[in-house]
Amino acid sequence: MEGGVAAEQGTVTCASWIRRPEEAHLVALGKSKHGNFPASFQIFTFDRLTTSLSSSPSATFEFEDGCDPVSLAVHPSGDDIICSTTKGGCRVFELHDQEKNLKLLAKELKPLQNVGPQKCLAFSTDGSRFAAGGVDGHLRIYEWPSMRVIVDQPKAHQGFNDMDFSLDSEFLASTSTDGSARIWNANDGVPVNSLTRTSDEKIELCRFSKDGTKPFLFCTVQKGNRSITVVWDISTWDKIGFKRLLRKPACVMSISLDGKYLAQGSKDGDVCVVSVKKMEVCHWSKRLHLGYPVSSLDFCPSERVVLSTSNEWGAMVTKLNVPADWKEWQLYMLLIGLFLASAVLFYIFFENSDLFWNLPMAKDQPARPKLGSYVGDHQSDDKNMWGPVDM
């Protein structure tokens, strides 16, 4: 495959990165039943040096017959993963590290038992909210981990297509299968706005900006035969511009944790990555999932690497061809280098400059005495060193 490293082929329905300490990030995969292999939820380790996943899972949970994973969401702490299934609602998986061994503890999520498949699952940026959007259009927002109900809206949409929390966790954006999009207050569940669109426009995917400086909402819009990315200002909810990026219908979208890059996956297997600052494509992996829709797309928490999945080609990790970021230790080394360079330049200036320390002397001004004129001549006789004294 061009631009990627195959990890797990076939049967993968959903995937996401799991943030872990010391950048030892993991990958969660939901796999449907395939042949004699039952549906399962698996955890893989990630090798930063080879940009690849481990050949075998570090932890596995097998679902019962007729129960396949649909979607999943990982808490920002990386300790809890929620997986929606085709039967039995949602499951919670607690991840435990035990002496370098991973252990999955599966639990039923009582408020989401027997609610049917959930197309969209999302945690807020601060981890205090959890939202679920069903295939049937039912919206639920809870406090986490208390699971206190904030929103329980049975007819929020005709059917959910996508959702995302804003950086400050105040808003939740959601899109519908009928092409509409709504904004919700995540604190009290009150609808804030419905994004404007023309009769021939369908709003399909949505992601809030995450860099902390640009309060925008990015949405993919299908306008006739044209696919465009539209930007809304979330302070006024007005459109401020649009651009053609993927130039074909997108089926999944993701944004990096630092908000610098936006990624889109097409229905025929292409993945493009956009620089948010310039709104220009900076990486393109064509035919990454040849001929099949990209079902999941997620940025690595600390590396410029993208995880993507499709039903046919499974999970793949792709290293992006973008400029490398400055690491924290590199910034410290740069500051130390600048300090040492300044010290060397100051020393050279001190030794050679006549403008400050070595003041120019007039023609009739005696030269500065040498150090020896003060301490005396070591070869002189101590008895006569002061010369004759007239008493």
DSSP string, 273-328: EEETTTTEEEEEETTTTTTS---EEEE-SSSSEEEEEETTTEEEEEE--SPPPPPH
What does the DSSP 8-state code read for residue 64?
P
Residue 14 burial (CB count, 10 A): 24
Average pLDDT, the chain: 87
Residue 216 carries which DSSP code? E
Please provide the DSSP assignment of 333-380 as one string: HHHHHHHHHHHHHHHHHHHH-TTTTS----TTSPPPPPHHHHH--TTS
Residues 253 and 162: their CA atoms lie apart, in Å, by 9
Q: What is the phi/psi pair of residue 255, to 5°?
A: -130, 145
Residues 6+ apart with CB under 8 A from 6: 313, 314, 315, 316
**Confidence label for 320 from pLDDT (cuts 50, 70 and 90):** very high
Per cent of the chain over pLDDT 70 is 84
pLDDT at 361 over 90: no
Span 295-307, pLDDT tens digits: 999 999 999 999 9
More confident residue, 256 or 11: 256
CB 96 within 8 A of CB 106: no
Q: List the single range of 84-88, 216-220, 320-324 with lowest mean pLDDT.
A: 320-324
Q: Does 81 score more than 70 pLDDT?
A: yes
* Predicted local confidence at residue 36, as pLDDT: 87
Sign of the alpha-carbon dihedral angle for 241, 245, 246, 247: positive
- Distances in Å between the alpha carbon of 119 and those of 63, 133, 158, 244, 373? 18, 6, 12, 26, 93
Q: Residue 88's pLDDT is what? A: 76
pLDDT at 99: 63
Residue 160, pLDDT above cutoff 70: yes
Check whether 86 has a pLDDT greater than 80. Answer: yes
185: β partners: 171
Q: What is the CA radius of gyration of the chain?
A: 32
Sorted by sequence, the CB contacts under 8 Å of residue 72 that are 6+ apart come out as: 14, 15, 16, 28, 30, 41, 81, 82, 83, 84, 121
pLDDT at residue number 346: 76
Q: Is the pLDDT assigned to residue 332 strictly greater than 70? A: no
d(CA 11, CA 33): 7
Q: Span 120-127, mean pLDDT? A: 97
Look at residue 1 and tell me whether its pLDDT is greater than 90.
Answer: no
Reply yes or no on whether the pLDDT at 375 is more than 50.
no
DSSP H stretches of helix in the chain:
328-352, 371-375
Q: What is the C-alpha separation between 145 and 188, in angstroms, rounded?
A: 17
pLDDT at 362: 54
